[in-house]
């Protein structure tokens, strides 16, 4: 599978390494040339030596997307630090380049939910965190304070 | 009409003011706190603070009953998505989006955001309307640097169509920097042959406009080829 990841921050770069180590072809696009270094964290060799591809450019630039290989991508991950950028480029990948699998990272839960309903595959880390925190709180133990009737069992 | 304007920059602020003067109900949304406070001194309750990319901010501004949403922030992604959400989620009948970078125009079209307007577009349309041919448009004045960039559209009887750029008698202190042909731009070389319909950009010292207008204008007016 050929995977194109736009936005090579902590999430993007870790995902890129994971996909590469599973034997997939991986191409990364990021505005910041420095983010190349993040790709190589914990690797035994250079990113390119291990078969990875890295392109400097903005996700909104058609030329950059094409240089990064969007026309032959099987999967497209929009994981820049901007929700708006991710939503726009995911739609570009879907509609203009007809990439079979398109996933957008959207931090804003309300919009993630709405775009999901519009047929976009979204991942909302904020939603995941909220759910985890909620269940962690509910599973935690409570103080043994007596309820109104004085029975400690009621407080639980 | 109830109109929501997003982005209280020069465009949004003036737009909101004009619309209010025309007795429309207006809410202007601005996400920069300092800018908001400045604008609020004049527009008072007609401006609200928040990031209009967020749905609840739009809802608080009453988007459900808006007749029109105009997104004129300095960020093309914001403008695209605010309009997309306004139309598709809140079923606002009319939207207008501003294009900051003309190269993003195709993205607006892809997402069906229409109409979208860019300053470049407006100037071109104005040019076509006001000055059908041989108009000369100021695109940029670099006052400190004493330079300006102008754009000219080559009509069918322009004196320079069919001629090599290298053969043009460009006035001193002027330079042809770009040719836009069938939607694509390129930097002309001496061997580039100009065609009818080309839009050419030139950089020049102020004061050479008339000479350029003559040169690129109808043959006979300028230094056109003998057979022109």
Q: Which chain B residues touch A if contact means CB-CB below 8 Å?
A: 53-56, 75-78, 80-81, 85, 88-89, 103-104, 106-107, 110-111
| DSSP secondary structure letter of residue B170 | P
Q: Is B53 in contact with B81 (CB distance < 8 Å)?
A: yes
Number of Cβ pairs < 8 A linking chain A and chain B? 43
**A121/B155: higher pLDDT:** A121
CB contact under 8 A, B85 and A91: no
Separation of alpha carbons B199 and B182, rounded Å: 9
pLDDT tens by residue, A73-104: 999 999 999 999 999 999 999 999 999 999 99
Separation of alpha carbons B32 and B206, rounded Å: 37
Residues written for chain B: 228
**If you write DSSP's letter for every residue of B64-95 in order, what string do you get?**
GG-SEEEE--S-HHHHHHHHHHHHHTS--SEE
B25 DSSP β-pair partners: B2
Q: Is A84 in contact with B81 (CB distance < 8 Å)?
A: yes
Residue with tokens 């007795």: B23
Per-residue pLDDT at B227 exceeds 50: no
Residues written for chain A: 156
pLDDT of residue A142: 85
Per-residue pLDDT at B137 exceeds 80: no
Per-residue pLDDT at A136 exceeds 80: yes
pLDDT of residue B220: 45
Determine the residue of chain A that is closest to B111 in CA distance. A91
**B139/B54: higher pLDDT:** B54
pLDDT of residue B228: 34
Helix ranges (H only) for chain B are: 10-21, 33-43, 55-60, 76-88, 105-110, 119-130, 209-216
pLDDT tens by residue, B70-109: 999 999 999 999 999 999 999 999 999 999 988 899 999 9
Residue B120 — very low, low, confident or very high, per pLDDT cuts 50/70/90?
confident
CA distances B206 to A36, B87, B171, B214, Å, are 45, 45, 12, 15
Residue B141 — very low, low, confident or very high, per pLDDT cuts 50/70/90?
low
Q: In the predicted model, what is the mean pLDDT of chain B?
A: 85
Q: Terminus-to-terminus CA distance in chain A, angstroms?
A: 50
Q: Which two tokens stand for residue B1?
A: 């009409």
Mean pLDDT within B10-16 = 93
Per-residue pLDDT at A47 exceeds 90: yes
**B207/B74: higher pLDDT:** B74
CB contact under 8 A, A110 and B85: no
pLDDT of residue A153: 58
Contacts of residue B91, Cβ cutoff 8 Å, sequence gap at least 6: none
CB contact under 8 A, B54 and A108: yes
What's the predicted TM-score (pTM) here? 0.69
Q: Cα B190 to chain center, whole Å?
A: 29
Q: Is A97 in contact with A71 (CB distance < 8 Å)?
A: yes
**B10/B225: higher pLDDT:** B10
Residue A60 has its nearest CB partner, among B78, B89, B107, at B107
B148 DSSP β-pair partners: B141, B204
Residue B129 — very low, low, confident or very high, per pLDDT cuts 50/70/90?
low
pLDDT of residue B207: 77
Window from A141-145, B32-36, B127-131 with minimum mean pLDDT:
B127-131
ipTM score:
0.82
Q: Is A77 in contact with A83 (CB distance < 8 Å)?
A: no
pLDDT of residue B125: 63
Separation of alpha carbons B54 and B63, rounded Å: 12
**If you write DSSP's letter for every residue of chain A in order, what string do you get?**
-EEEEE--SHHHHHHHHHHHHTT-EEEEEES-TTHHHHHTTT-SS-TTTTT-EEEES-TT-HHHHHHTTGGG-SEEEE--S-HHHHHHHHHHHHHTS--SEEEEE---HHHHHHHHHTT-EEE-HHHHHHHHHHHHHHHS-------TTS-GGGG-
Window from A83-97, A100-114, B138-152, B159-173 with minimum mean pLDDT:
B138-152
pLDDT tens by residue, B25-72: 999 999 999 999 999 999 999 999 999 999 999 999 999 999 999 999
């Amino acid at each position: 599978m050929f995977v194109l990841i736009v936005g090579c921050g902590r999430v993007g770069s870790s995902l890129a390494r994971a996909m590469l180590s599973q034997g997939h072809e991986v191409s990364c696009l990021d505005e910041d040339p420095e983010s190349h270094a993040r790709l190589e964290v914990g690797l035994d060799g250079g990113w390119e030596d291990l078969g990875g591809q890295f392109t400097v450019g903005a996700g909104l630039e058609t030329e950059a997307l094409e240089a990064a290989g969007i026309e032959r991508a099987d999967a497209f991950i929009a994981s820049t630090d901007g929700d708006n950028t991710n939503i726009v480029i995911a739609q570009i990948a879907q509609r203009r380049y007809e990439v079979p699998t398109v996933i957008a990272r959207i931090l804003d839960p309300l919009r993630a939910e709405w775009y999901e309903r519009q047929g976009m595959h979204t991942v909302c880390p904020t939603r995941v965190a909220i759910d985890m925190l909620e269940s962690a709180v509910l599973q935690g133990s409570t103080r043994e304070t007596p309820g109104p009737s004085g029975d400690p069992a009621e407080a639980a | 009409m109830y109109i929501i304007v997003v982005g209280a920059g020069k465009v949004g602020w003036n737009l909101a003011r004009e619309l209010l003067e025309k007795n429309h109900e207006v809410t202007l949304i601005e996400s920069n706190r300092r800018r908001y406070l400045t604008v609020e001194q004049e527009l008072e309750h007609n401006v609200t603070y928040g990031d209009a990319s967020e749905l609840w901010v739009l809802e608080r501004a009453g988007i459900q009953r808006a007749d029109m949403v105009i997104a004129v922030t300095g960020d093309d992604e914001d403008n695209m998505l605010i309009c997309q959400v306004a139309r598709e989620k809140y079923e606002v009948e009319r939207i207008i989006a501003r294009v900051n970078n003309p190269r993003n125009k195709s993205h607006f079209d892809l997402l069906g955001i229409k109409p979208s307007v860019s300053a470049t577009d407006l100037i071109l349309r104005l040019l076509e309307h006001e000055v059908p041919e041989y108009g000369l448009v100021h695109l940029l004045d670099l006052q400190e640097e004493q330079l300006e960039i102008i754009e000219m559209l080559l009509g069918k009887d322009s004196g320079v169509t069919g001629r090599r750029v290298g053969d043009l008698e460009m006035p001193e202190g002027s330079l042809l920097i770009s040719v836009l042909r069938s939607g694509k731009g390129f930097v002309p070389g001496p061997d580039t042959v100009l065609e009818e319909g080309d839009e050419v950009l030139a950089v020049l010292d102020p004061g050479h406009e008339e000479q350029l207008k003559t040169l690129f204008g109808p043959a006979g007016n300028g230094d056109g080829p003998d057979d022109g």
